[in-house]
Amino acid sequence: MLGHAGRMPPAPTASLPAPPRAVPSVLVAALVARLPHVMVSLSLVLLVRDLGHAYVVAGAVTAAFVAGMAGAAPLLGRLADRIGAVPVLAGSAATSGAALALAAAVPGRLGPPGLAAAALVAGAATPPVSAVLRALLPRIAREGGLRTLYALEAALQEALFISGPLIVVGVVAVASPRAALGACALLLLAGTAGFALATRGRATPAPPGRRAWALRPPALRRVAACYALVGVVFGAVELATIAALDEAGNRGLAGVVLAAWATGSLTGGLVVARRVRGDAATRLAPLLACLLVLALPLAPLAGAPPLLAAALVLHGVVIAPTLGTIYELVSRVSAADVLTEAFAWTTSAVFAGVALGNALAGVLVGWGGPAAGYGPAVAAPALAVLLARGLRAEVASSTATTTPSRRTAQTLPSGATATSTSPGTETPSQRT
Indicate the domain borders of the chain. 22-205+215-415
Q: In the CATH hierarchy, which top-level class contains the domain 22-205+215-415?
A: mainly alpha
What is the pTM for the complete model shown?
0.75
pLDDT tens digit string along 45-57? 999 988 988 888 8
Supply the DSSP symbol for 272: I
Local structure of 419: helix, strand or coil: strand
> Predicted confidence band at 203 (pLDDT cuts at 50, 70, 90)?
low
pLDDT tens digit string along 30-39? 999 999 998 9
The CA distance from 56 to 140, in Å, is: 44
The CA distance from 292 to 7, in Å, is: 30
The CA distance from 226 to 386, in Å, is: 9
Is the model's pLDDT at 128 over the cut of 80? yes
Q: How does the average pLDDT of the chain come out, rounded? A: 80
The CA distance from 215 to 119, in Å, is: 27
pLDDT tens digit string along 382-410? 999 999 987 877 776 665 555 443 333 33
Give the relative orientation of helices 55-83 and 22-50 as an angle to the nearest 10 degrees. Answer: 150
